[in-house]
Amino acid sequence: MIKFNAALKTILDSVEIVESESVRLTDALGRVLAEDIYADSDIPGFDNSAMDGFAVKSSDTIGASQDNVKVLEVVEDIKAGDIARKILSHNQAMRIMTGAQIPKGADSVIMVEYTKKNQKSKFKIQNGTKEFVEIYKEVKAADNIRKKAEDIKKNELIISKATQLNCAHIGILASLGRPRVKASRRPKIALLATGDELVDVNQRLGPGKVRSSNTYTLYSQIIKCGCIPKNLGLAKDDPAQLEKKIRLGLDCDIILTSGGVSVGEYDLVKNVLAKIGTNIKFWQVAIRPGKPLVFGKIKKTLVFGLPGNPVSGMVSFEMFVRPAILKMSGQKEDNQKVVNAILEEDINKKKGARHFLRAKTRWKGNVYLTAISGPQGSSLLKPMSLANSLIILEEGQGPVKKGTRVRVRFLG
Amino acid sequence: MIKFNAALKTILDSVEIVESESVRLTDALGRVLAEDIYADSDIPGFDNSAMDGFAVKSSDTIGASQDNVKVLEVVEDIKAGDIARKILSHNQAMRIMTGAQIPKGADSVIMVEYTKKNQKSKFKIQNGTKEFVEIYKEVKAADNIRKKAEDIKKNELIISKATQLNCAHIGILASLGRPRVKASRRPKIALLATGDELVDVNQRLGPGKVRSSNTYTLYSQIIKCGCIPKNLGLAKDDPAQLEKKIRLGLDCDIILTSGGVSVGEYDLVKNVLAKIGTNIKFWQVAIRPGKPLVFGKIKKTLVFGLPGNPVSGMVSFEMFVRPAILKMSGQKEDNQKVVNAILEEDINKKKGARHFLRAKTRWKGNVYLTAISGPQGSSLLKPMSLANSLIILEEGQGPVKKGTRVRVRFLG
């Protein structure tokens, strides 16, 4: 039986990166960039005011205080988006709004809070009015000025290929005037739940039947990973029907089946996969839950035969399918957090398989504490719904005592 | 000037929970449940086999081993989804598949791996064939049986109102036969960027102009919170135009404006909001970045006049708008993680305001380490794009030394 690390490596080695597509900025959040973004201009594009106030020469403010008010003539108003027509001379100020370009001749901005209108304020002169402002604080050169290129320098590599775009990246792309970017296409994932016992959520539940929860857990996991689901519904334990339905997924990047991969005589999925030409890379992994996992490839499509137990299917998705999706989308690393936590109870474990325990992990004081979120049967969805994390216990680990530090992986 | 906690309280006190709507299960991931879900049946609905194998009476296996093989007659095959027609008697077994209902008379299942076909296997009898199986392991009562109601008990409150639905919840709802659930309607959020200096991402950038990154950062943040954005575009610093465009957002749950809330003479948003009947609750908060925040309410619509600096707008959204959205959606608590981290560098801070520093926080050994992700100017998007977290420094804190434990809030 293959071990976890070898299984994951086999899967990742089989992954090819999908092609890219042009995506509108409003749809780009969370998408994986398929091009390097170099800045084609400085941001900001010009020295501008960080405050509402007055652009001045700092030398004109030397010694200014409440008791030593400096009076400057206001020679122009510069609104945001405007540019000054004049050049600032000594003993002059220009009223300037946040974001407006610093006029020539000025080297600093004094905040409006440190000024007041001169008593003389505006008065008529021969051909118009004059206006003055009282300054009662000294400013230094560069005060309250946002320098050109302070955030982003022209030709700088500002977002690299393979980055998953966050909200601030989207803002940077907008600032650089890019209404569209190249991103990896969203992988398309087919989903087929198998088993004579299954009925769909809105069907009558006859004796011996169960509703297919896997259809909905896996569908949700596909959505959560940003992929496009193709729901192939349910298939009976019938080779002809299985083959027909699985073939409907061959236009997808990944096919997920659930159920029918155990050792019983009615476990047909593996045989059908082999029959339609799947290169089966492994079957059964030394993990718990999730041992009966089939992985293979048909032409360019990856096929995961997931176990039918609901939690086994979900954990297999999280630990194997999700990393494949990330790599397929061109993403460099998994951002999902793995931390250490202090175990709040004894856990019984036999050496052999790697275990993934459904757990609640919480920050308390200066550490994470973790405890299982209920019974660990692989069919039990309730403890899975209460979990925010999986405790990872290694193959070589035996029973683990309360107080031990264990590895914990947060879910989503 | 109002402090952070008082500002947040004022906002949350103004929030009313939105109505609920019926949502299909395939659209329900991440939605907030607006009803208590009680189980209307046991899950599983019947005792069933956890393994592929043979249903037996455990008393018939006592002492079974490789050297002491017990031979039982196979009297029926039970596929998953089928139910047995016979009742199991002593020295009999029924072949059973994972998930199939345990037949009457059996109290345990022996895994197929601990059995082999009897040499005599099938042989003809008068009216058909007889089949036998060799058992070489003892099983105990209840072994490999998943008990009825083991996961969920009928009438149990299984998911409470105000829960944000995860993938396992979706599976539980499917198991219970609920193709739709009642969830809070997704809040609708109008977005208007203001300022004469702004042009849109695809427009020509004239002298003194900047592209409106806020339109795209805030749009992305709205999407990330699961809300429906209504992009009102850009407005000039003109009271009539501002009024007209802000009124277009009055059909939304929240209106966000950005810019025009500072102290300058062209900062008009606050005046326009007052004119159209906004009950302004506060203006200016003792935080950095994000001081010039206006908050008020027009009829049922919350209005946030966010500061125009890109990072100020984003941080204000994260710290004020997002909690309002969560409460509006009926969600009980914020799942976002706040932890402690060890500061990797000295940080200069004056007492007075609460600071939110853009930071990279990473797990190393048994602790989080954190460092700022670049210069902290409130217009600088690049450090924001590199941050995965905000360091929170309290109002009363002064300079903070390297090695100090600080509070860190992860972003999204």
pLDDT given at position A268: 86
Look at residue B268 in the predicted model and tell me its pLDDT.
86
Residue B294, pLDDT above cutoff 60: yes
> What pLDDT score was predicted for residue A133?
93
State whether CATH 1.10.3720.10 applies to domain A24-43+151-184.
no
Q: Is the pLDDT of residue B184 over 90?
A: yes
pLDDT of residue B118: 73
Residue located via tokens 């006190």:
B13
Q: What is the pLDDT of residues B309-350, one digit of tens each?
A: 999 999 999 999 999 999 999 997 666 689 999 999 999 999
- For residue B211, count other CB atoms closer than 10 A to its CB: 25
Judge whether residue B127 has pLDDT over 80.
Answer: no
Mutate to test the interface with A, among B201, B223, B362 (most CBs of A within 10 A): B201
Considering only alpha carbons, which residue of chain B is nearest residue A338?
A: B363
On chain B, the residues whose CB falls within 8 A of the CB of A103 are none
Most B CBs within 10 A among A110, A112, A115, A167, hence the mutation to make, goes to A167
CB of A353 closer than 8 Å to CB of A256: no
The helix/strand/coil state of A149 is coil
What Cα–Cα distance (Å) separates residue A357 from each residue in A69, A369, A377?
71, 14, 10
Q: What was the pLDDT predicted at B335?
A: 62
Distance from CA of A25 to the nearest CA of B (A): 7
Nearest chain B residue to A45, by CA: B210
Best mutation site among A43, A220, A338 for testing chain B: the one with the most B CBs within 10 Å?
A220
Among B401, B388, B386, B391, residue whose Cα is nearest residue B344: B401
Q: Do B340 and A366 touch (CB under 8 A)?
A: yes
Residues in chain A with pLDDT values less than 50:
none
Per the CB < 8 Å rule, is A367 touching B366?
yes
Kindly list the residues from chain B whose CB atom is less than 8 angstroms away from the CB atom of residue A367: 366
Residue A260, pLDDT score: 84
Positive or negative, the CA dihedral B405, B357, B389, A149 is negative
Residues of B in contact with A381 (CB under 8 A): 43, 151-152, 168, 171-172, 175
Phi, psi of B397 (to 5 degrees): -80, 140
d(CA A288, CA A203): 31
Whether the CB-CB separation of B368 and B410 falls below 8 Å is answered with no
Structure tokens at B357: 């520093």
Residues B106-130, mean pLDDT to the nearest whole number: 79
Q: How many CB pairs under 8 A join A and B?
A: 297
In 3D space, the residue among A406, A386, A277 whose CA is nearest the CA of residue A343 turns out to be A406
> B175: Cβ–Cβ under 8 A, 6 or more apart, which residues?
A210, A211, A213, A381, B43, B152
A83 vs B45, B207, B217: nearest CB:
B207
| pLDDT for the residue numbered B343 | 98
Our CA dihedral for B364, B365, B368, B372, rounded to 10 degrees, sits at -30
The CATH homologous superfamily to which domain B4-17+186-328 belongs is MoaB/Mog-like domain (3.40.980.10)
* Sequence spans of domains, chain A: 4-17+186-328, 24-43+151-184, 48-146, 338-410
Flag whether pLDDT at B263 surpasses 80.
no
Q: Are A207 and B101 inside 8 Å of each other by CB?
A: yes
DSSP A187: P
The ipTM (two decimal places) reads 0.95
Token reading at B63:
């002492």
Fold of B21-43+151-184: Molybdopterin biosynthesis moea protein, domain 2 (3.90.105)
Tell me the whole-structure pTM to 2 decimals: 0.95
Q: Which amino acid is at B266?
A: Y
Q: Per-residue pLDDT averaged across B44-62, rounded?
A: 96
Q: A19 vs chain B: nearest CA distance in angstroms?
A: 24
Cα angle B98, A353, A16 (rounded to 5 degrees) comes to 85
- Output the CA–CA distances (angstroms, integers) from residue A18 to A11, A252, A331, B249, in the order listed: 15, 11, 11, 40
For chain A, how many residues are written?
412
- Chain B's closest residue to A205, CA to CA, is B177
Please indicate whether, in this complex, the C-beta atoms of B308 and A99 are within 8 angstroms of each other.
Answer: yes
pLDDT of residue B116: 87
Eight-state DSSP code of residue A317:
I
**In chain B, what residues touch A216 (CB-CB under 8 Å)?**
25-26, 170-171, 173-174
What is residue B399's predicted lDDT score, i.e. its pLDDT? 98
Identify the CATH homologous superfamily for domain A338-410.
Answer: MoeA, C-terminal, domain IV (2.40.340.10)
- The Cβ of residue A251 has, within 10 Å, a number of other Cβ atoms equal to 11
> What pLDDT score does A336 carry?
66
Options 2.170.190.11, 3.40.50.1950, 3.30.565.10, 2.60.320.10; CATH for A48-146 is: 2.170.190.11
Q: Which residues of B fall within a CB distance of 8 Å from A262?
A: 51-52, 98
- Put simply, the answer to whether A224 touches B112 (Cβ < 8 Å) is no
Q: Which two tokens stand for residue A324?
A: 């494949």
**Could you give the CA distance from residue B95 to residue B146 in angstroms, rounded to a whole number?**
16
* H helix runs in B122-212, sequence order: 167-175
Beta bridge partners of A122: A131
Q: Residue B387 is which amino acid?
A: A
Choose, out of A52, A194, A382, A390, the residue to mutate when testing the contact with B (most B CBs < 10 Å). Answer: A382
Residue A187, amino acid = P
